[in-house]
């Protein structure tokens, strides 16, 4: 469903008060924190398709990513985009 990763840059950078994680499709996961920088994680779970799981699920909340979590992630992505465009600081609190 996704294009080959050759020549692509599919990545997610998650930053928080305790450091950040840099996830690169086909390139693994690297985490950094005040205690250490650029630590590559190698003990990762098997690859799974969230979309295939969602399409096959009978209950939207029972899959790998519950629908409520997916909707929250989309909301946060929209808020992050809005903050980037306006130059505002974004603060997220747990539910």
Q: pTM of the full predicted structure?
A: 0.51
3-state secondary structure the chain: CCCCCCCCCCEEEEEECCEEEEEECCCEEEEEECCEEEEEECCCCCCCCHHHHHHHCCCCCCCCCCHHHHHHHHHHHHHHHHHHHHCCCCCCCCC
Over residues 22-44, the pLDDT tens digits come to 777 767 777 777 777 777 777 77
pLDDT band at 95 (very low <50, low <70, confident <90, very high): low
């Amino acid at each position: 469903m996704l294009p080959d990763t050759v020549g692509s840059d599919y990545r997610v950078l998650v930053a928080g008060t305790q450091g950040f994680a840099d996830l690169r499709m086909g390139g693994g996961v690297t985490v950094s924190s005040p205690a250490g920088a650029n630590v590559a994680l190698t003990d990762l779970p098997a690859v799974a398709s969230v979309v295939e799981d969602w399409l096959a699920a009978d209950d939207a909340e029972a899959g790998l990513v519950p629908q409520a979590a997916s909707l929250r992630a989309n909301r946060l992505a929209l808020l992050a985009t809005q903050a980037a465009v306006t130059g505002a600081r974004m603060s997220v609190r747990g539910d």
